[in-house]
Amino acid sequence: MEEKQNSLIFQDFNKSVLKPTTREEISNIIKECYKKNIPIEVSCLKSKKKIGRNFQTEKTLDLSSYSGIIEYKPEELYIKAKAGTSLKEIKDELDKHNQQLAFEPVDFGPIFLGKTDEGSIGGVIACNFSGPRRFKAGSVRDHVLGFQGVNGKGEIIKSGGTVVKNVTGYDLSKLLSGSFGTLTVLTEVSVKVLPKPSLTKTLVIDNPYLLKALDYLSIALSSSSDPSGGVFYPEYFRNYFTFNDLTTEGPITAIRIEGASNSIDHRIKKLCEELKVNRNEVAILEPEQSNIFWEKTRRLEIFSELKDNLLRIVIPSNETFEVLNKLKVFDIKYFIDWGGSLIWVQIEIIDSKILRKIKEIISNANGYVTVIKIEENLKASIDVFTIDSIKYKITEKIKKSFDPKRILNPGKMYSGI
């Protein structure tokens, strides 16, 4: 039986794109790559394929045929699926039970593919990009309960499980989240799910100033009104948001309140008091428009016609104002998420020198910059991710412990990793 399975793999193995349908096939393919020193690109629905460094491999492991929900237990608050399962399939299933993935995965589809596409659950975990609810609900990695996968030697490994409380051994689920497929090919993942809030409304404050907006967001995030979203859109993005409820003018300072239906109005009222704003200085987006607003934010819709370069900057929120001041000299457009600590920056003209300068500004503010999109001809000469020499050494050691021959997505994150 084993021989037959292997011969099947060998036959397929000659193709450049391999589309396995079982975990054993995945394991056999990687074993073969390991044996023959063949690097392989781990890929699935390609919604985030362009994030990361360019690298060349002889083969591609396409996980899109390894898909399907394995087990969904609403009352146990988890869903277990094959890594290639599309997020759409998962969300449709969760919708039936009024549950959701609370980390709100960022949808890069509009930027890279011109249409909404959140990719696969494996890809979402491998990239670890979380949406507006991040500061309240945690990021993708906080919701991964366990996984099975294939390491760079072709061995099937697992960690975690389906229960939330589990401190048995190292927490490899976290280590693999955001590792861009460079450590292990995820094959099955168990993810925590949560009930959807009964009601969502959004408070928009009439305010033209960035500094004031950051103050509002900061006060809101430190409020017992417990908001679940806080963004600032400068005026130039205003026309992406044409809502009847949006009666304020100019830039948008928006705070999302969600939860039990009967608590929302009370919390908004209390928040207005804390922010010292009157009813005539605010607009309230009612549930339907509120949901659309945050979907647009999660999908980065304002960048949907983006031709330029896009940077993702994460910094402590007290640094945001100063950082944006310093970035003014470059031709940028930006919006602020995570209540002040995430800045999405669109920059028209960039070269490696400008990027270095920006990285320096951000690093001095104790934050980091990830290059999400950049002109192809520049990609080879810049660092998509940033790493210091000590962490590089540690990264190298960890990479080696999972993938000793460096065959999984080699060079995707850093040169030499």
Minimum distance from residue 28 beta carbon to other proteins (Å): 15
d(CA 386, CA 132): 23
Beta carbon nearer to other proteins, 39 or 178: 178
Instruction: Name 184's bridge partners.
Output: 151
Minimum distance from residue 276 beta carbon to other proteins (Å): 17
User: Taking a C-beta distance cutoff of 8 angstroms, is the pair 255, 249 a contact?
Assistant: no
Q: Where are the alpha helices (DSSP H) in 104-170?
A: 109-112, 121-127, 134-137, 140-143
Instruction: Name 203's bridge partners.
Output: 255, 284
Minimum distance from residue 272 beta carbon to other proteins (Å): 14
Helix (H, G, I), strand (E, B) or coil at 59: strand
Please report where in the chains the tokens 């945001």 appear, as a residue: 320
Beta carbon nearer to other proteins, 85 or 99: 99
Burial of 276 (0-12, 13-18, 19+ CB in 10 A): exposed
Minimum distance from residue 110 beta carbon to other proteins (Å): 22
d(CA 220, CA 337): 13
Beta carbon nearer to other proteins, 5 or 366: 366
d(CA 164, CA 144): 9
Amino acid at site 93: E
Beta carbon nearer to other proteins, 235 or 265: 265
Minimum distance from residue 121 beta carbon to other proteins (Å): 18
Closest of 231, 229, 240, 66 to residue 150, by C-alpha: 66
Beta carbon nearer to other proteins, 62 or 340: 340
Beta carbon nearer to other proteins, 6 or 223: 223
Minimum distance from residue 74 beta carbon to other proteins (Å): 6
d(CA 358, CA 311): 10
Minimum distance from residue 364 beta carbon to other proteins (Å): 13
Beta carbon nearer to other proteins, 168 or 280: 168
Task: Tokens for 62, please give them.
Answer: 């396409």
Amino acid at site 70: I
